[in-house]
């Protein structure tokens, strides 16, 4: 079975240089999920009512509820 | 997601513990999924399976995507539910596995597990006991779609660096074309958008640092990467805060926009909506020329076995039906070989 | 003779009660099964921690303290409650105020008032999902009627549902458009019950429209106001369909349209694309919403009823 579809072959090629979809792969196990924090943070950032640093801080703070390494 | 062209790539009917020989226990196996759109392909797959195991028939039931998890958890809590379950990955799997609803898959009984890459296995593993509970069925890759016709007409090439992305966007905008089709109104797409465009700035090292506790999301790398997104606001549709996912797709498909940030799950859908579209799927731009252009990758879900039901009912043929990830060539080749063997 | 008659009467009474019980039973069973039982189980779940989807340990009030006092859940709870409050206030003033005026104008039975009555009430019969979808299209930043109309007069419209400043207002507006006919009808019915003599007497005494409306009609439609107030209160704090259709489960953009209904729903039932099912917090939220709405409507009913009696 080979991928006759050139586009799917393209995707397979792209996967050779891949990294995880971070928030979904690592931070969707407990609430608040990294995903929900990031989604609303980025919406606010793009609307101009939150800075990138604030979005990062809200992710860290929310995730620290259950992710030990962030509880410092 | 798995496209239309996947049907024949089925590596289905992988028999499980005590069921291979005990297929004598005839009956009906039920299968639940949220993917109504795959019904025809499954029908074909099940027909093949029943041909190989004449005493077992498979019943397909699909539920609305929004209510699937609720319907499933309610059924499982009441001690019911299907024999074979289409599950999500990561946390979406873990909440079912943790509650004891799923059967841990034994690599001896499910040799297909050995063919899956480590990140696929991890996506269906319960972190607390390290066991795999679901057979991963598809990986998704997040990247950038280019409308080639639009690009050719404007005389620009797919960008390989961030600076090129900005330059291309300027040219497109000057030609009256919306450079980037995406808007911000659909929350989950914003996470996709962010991951696609920031990952090349972060790299796998950043992920390793996060997991090791050496960095958090206030890290200068992460904040700087998020900040890059702000540069794109000039090149998104007018009123982009109110542009939802569906509108973004339409802008791209109709050629009113040149770039769509999305995932490999769009491919089949895009082709269905506009069979004539001339598009390519490329990696996001690198921070600088020559730097790696990381795409973002994750697994969508898998096939699991309803544990309590199997104990009480001795599911005649507790199997996992699965299709190879459309993007992982090797595993699909191996798995289809296995399925031929098991059918023979 | 008399004892016989008495016995027969007692028998008839017992037969009657039995008959009533038989008639009530199906309703009671359905209510018990589908309303009381889930409510009670939500109450129970609110005190448990969850192991994945299965209830695990009794944890007392922890779910409650977490959604009320601990970040980020508490931020979301209070933000949602605040938005519900805004929705209630805005609907009371804009939607129900307008409804009162419409009812007053309809009461005057000007030519064509019957047609107007139908037009005002027409949107009410549409489902909230359809109305939400329609207005989402109308308010679309690129293809919407509203911004196209504004462009004709040279005004560049906003992405109404995408702008944090206007998103909630746009949904409230849609709600008012959809629903204004209902309070208008209740007010109109209340006004029509006021005797003609009272109104004519006021007119003869020289009361203008304003005086008539504020001095005579407003106090006399107090029962209608009570009903409208209570229904609007419950509707505003259970608000779900419109924001769900128009802003999505997350209350986009960035939670600017998040209300308790959405927050409860995505917590308890999970948001496919970002969240998990969190029955513990979800049940706690449901219990809090139930108590809040029940207590406040109960109090409001008492206060407003007293106002009716005084009139």
Q: How far apart are CA C257 and CA B226, in angstroms?
A: 24
pLDDT score of C129: 94
Residue B323 has pLDDT above 80, yes or no: no
Average pLDDT in chain B: 81
ω into residue C253 within 30 of 0, thus cis? yes
**CATH topology identical between B4-139+299-343 and B140-295:** yes
Q: What is the pLDDT of residues B145-196, one digit of tens each?
A: 999 999 999 999 999 999 999 999 999 999 999 999 999 999 999 999 999 9
State mean pLDDT over A40-66.
96
Q: B110 CA to chain A: closest CA distance, Å?
A: 21
Cβ neighbours around B99 below 10 Å, total: 19
Residue B21 has pLDDT above 70, yes or no: no
A32 contacts in chain B (CB < 8 Å)? none
Residue scoring higher pLDDT (B288 or C51)? B288
pLDDT score of B331: 31
Residue B313 has pLDDT above 70, yes or no: no
CA dihedral B93, B95, B98, B99 (to 10 degrees): -120
Strand stretches in chain C, DSSP E: 48-51, 54-58
State mean pLDDT over A34-39.
94
Closest CA to B229 of B280, B298, B176, B285: B285
Asked whether residue A65 is domain-assigned, the answer is yes
Q: Is B339 left (phi over 0), alpha (psi -120 to 50) or beta?
A: alpha
pLDDT score of B22: 37
A62 contacts in chain B (CB < 8 Å)? none
Asked whether residue A15 is domain-assigned, the answer is yes
Residue-by-residue pLDDT tens, chain C, 311 positions:
577 888 888 888 888 999 999 999 998 999 888 888 888 888 888 999 888 888 888 998 999 999 999 989 999 999 999 999 999 999 999 999 999 999 999 998 889 889 998 999 999 999 999 999 999 999 999 999 999 999 999 998 899 999 999 999 999 999 999 999 999 999 999 999 998 899 899 989 988 889 999 989 999 999 999 999 999 999 999 999 999 999 999 998 999 999 999 999 999 887 777 778 888 999 999 999 999 999 999 999 999 988 875 54
pLDDT score of B315: 44
When CB atoms are compared, the residue of B99, B101, B241 closest to C159 is B241
Q: How far apart are CA B170 and CA B282, in angstroms?
A: 20
Range of the domain at A25: 6-70
Give the residue on A whose Cα is nearest the Cα of B203: A19
Asked if B92 and B86 touch (Cβ cutoff 8 Å), the reply is no
Q: C274 CA to chain A: closest CA distance, Å?
A: 5
pLDDT score of B312: 61
Q: What is the pLDDT of residues C248-277, one digit of tens each?
A: 999 989 999 999 999 999 998 877 777 788
State mean pLDDT over B28-41.
84
pLDDT score of B107: 82
Asked whether residue A48 is domain-assigned, the answer is yes
pLDDT score of B24: 35
pLDDT score of B18: 28
B67 contacts in chain C (CB < 8 Å)? 269
B324 contacts in chain A (CB < 8 Å)? 1
Q: At what angle do helices C181-192 and C167-179 cross, to 10 degrees?
A: 40
Q: Is C52 left (phi over 0), alpha (psi -120 to 50) or beta?
A: left
Residue scoring higher pLDDT (A8 or B3)? A8
The reply to whether residue A19 touches residue B212, judged by beta carbons under 8 angstroms, is no
B90 contacts in chain A (CB < 8 Å)? 24-25, 28-29
pLDDT score of B314: 47
Residue B20 has pLDDT above 80, yes or no: no
The CATH fold assigned to B4-139+299-343 is D-Maltodextrin-Binding Protein; domain 2 (3.40.190)
The reply to whether residue B327 touches residue A15, judged by beta carbons under 8 angstroms, is yes
Our count of domains for chain A comes to 1
Q: What is the pLDDT of residues B324-342, one digit of tens each?
A: 333 232 233 223 322 322 3
Closest CA to A32 of B191, C270, C285: C270
Query: Of 3.40.190.10, 3.30.420.40, 3.40.50.970, 3.40.50.1100, which CATH number belongs to B140-295?
Result: 3.40.190.10
List the domain boundaries for chain B: 4-139+299-343, 140-295
Q: B54 CA to chain C: closest CA distance, Å?
A: 36
Residues 12-51 of A with CB under 8 A from B: 12, 14-15, 17-26, 28-30, 33, 35, 38-40, 42-43, 45-47
Asked whether residue A1 is domain-assigned, the answer is no
From residue C224, how far is each of B23, B293, C188, C229 by CA, in Å?
69, 65, 9, 8
């Amino acid at each position: 079975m080979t991928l006759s579809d050139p586009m799917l072959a393209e995707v397979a090629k792209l996967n050779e240089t891949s990294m995880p979809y971070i928030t979904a792969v690592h931070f969707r196990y407990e609430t608040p999920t990294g995903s929900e924090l990031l989604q609303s943070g980025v919406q606010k950032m793009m609307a101009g009512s939150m800075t990138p640093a604030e979005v990062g801080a809200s992710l860290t703070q929310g995730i620290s509820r259950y992710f030990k390494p962030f509880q410092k | 997601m798995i496209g239309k062209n996947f049907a024949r790539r089925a590596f289905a009917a992988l028999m499980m513990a005590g069921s291979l020989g005990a297929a004598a226990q005839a009956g009906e196996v039920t299968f639940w999924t949220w993917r109504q759109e795959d019904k025809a392909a499954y029908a074909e797959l099940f027909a093949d399976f029943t041909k190989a195991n004449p005493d077992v028939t498979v019943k397909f039931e699909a539920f609305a995507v929004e209510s699937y998890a609720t319907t499933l958890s309610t059924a499982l809590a009441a001690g019911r539910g299907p024999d074979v379950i289409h599950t999500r990955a990561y946390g979406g799997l873990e909440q079912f596995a943790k509650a004891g609803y799923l059967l841990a898959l034994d690599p001896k009984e499910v040799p297909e597990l050995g063919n899956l890459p480590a990140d696929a296995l991890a996506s269906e593993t319960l972190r607390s006991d390290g066991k795999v509970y679901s057979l991963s069925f598809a990986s998704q890759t997040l990247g950038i779609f280019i409308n080639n016709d639009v690009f050719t007409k404007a005389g620009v090439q797919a960008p390989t660096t961030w600076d090129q992305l900005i330059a291309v966007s300027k040219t497109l905008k000057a030609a009256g074309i919306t450079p980037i089709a995406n808007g911000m109104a659909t929350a989950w797409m914003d996470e996709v958008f962010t991951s696609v465009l920031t990952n090349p700035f972060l790299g796998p090292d950043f992920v390793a640092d996060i997991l090791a506790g050496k960095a958090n999301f206030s890290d200068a790398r992460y904040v700087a990467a998020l900040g890059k997104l702000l540069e794109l606001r000039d090149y998104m549709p007018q009123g982009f805060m109110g542009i939802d996912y569906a509108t973004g797709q339409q802008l791209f498909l109709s050629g009113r926009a040149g770039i769509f940030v999305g995932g490999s799950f769009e491919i089949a859908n895009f082709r269905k909506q506009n069979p004539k579209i001339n598009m390519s799927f490329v990696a996001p731009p690198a921070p600088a020329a020559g730097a790696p252009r990381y795409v973002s990758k994750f697994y969508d879900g898998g096939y699991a076995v309803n544990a309590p039901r199997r104990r009480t009912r001795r599911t005649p043929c507790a199997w996992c039906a699965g299709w190879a990830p459309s993007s992982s060539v090797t595993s699909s080749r191996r798995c289809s070989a296995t399925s031929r063997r098991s059918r023979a | 003779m008399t004892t016989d008659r008495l016995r027969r009467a007692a028998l008839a009474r017992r037969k009657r009660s039995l008959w009533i019980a038989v008639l009530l039973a199906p309703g009671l069973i359905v209510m018990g099964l589908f309303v009381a039982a889930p409510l009670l189980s939500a109450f129970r779940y609110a005190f448990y921690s969850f192991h994945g989807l299965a209830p695990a340990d009794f944890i007392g009030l922890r779910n409650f303290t977490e959604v009320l006092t601990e970040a980020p859940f508490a931020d979301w709870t209070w933000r949602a409650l605040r938005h519900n409050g805004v929705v209630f206030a805005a609907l009371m003033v804009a939607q129900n105020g307008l409804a009162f005026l419409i009812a007053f104008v309809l009461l005057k039975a000007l030519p064509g008032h019957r047609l107007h009555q139908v037009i005002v009430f027409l949107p009410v019969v549409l489902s909230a999902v359809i109305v939400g979808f329609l207005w989402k299209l109308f308010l679309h930043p690129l293809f919407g009627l509203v911004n196209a109309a504004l462009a004709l007069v040279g005004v560049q419209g906003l992405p109404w549902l995408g702008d944090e400043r206007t998103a909630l207002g746009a949904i409230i507006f849609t709600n008012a458009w959809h629903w204004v006919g209902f309070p208008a009808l209740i007010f109109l019915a209340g006004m029509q019950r006021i005797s003609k003599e009272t109104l004519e007497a006021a007119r003869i005494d020289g009361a203008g429209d304003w005086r008539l409306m504020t001095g005579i009609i407003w106090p006399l439609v107090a029962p209608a106001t009570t009903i409208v107030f209570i229904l609007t209160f419950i509707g505003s704090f259970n608000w779900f369909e419109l924001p769900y259709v128009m802003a999505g489960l997350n209350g986009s953009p960035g939670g600017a349209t998040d209300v308790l209904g959405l927050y409860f729903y995505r917590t308890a039932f999970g948001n496919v694309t970002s969240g998990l099912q969190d029955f513990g917090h979800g049940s706690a939220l449901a219990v809090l919403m139930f108590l809040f709405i029940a207590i406040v409507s109960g109090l409001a009913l008492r206060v407003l009823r007293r106002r009716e009696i005084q009139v």
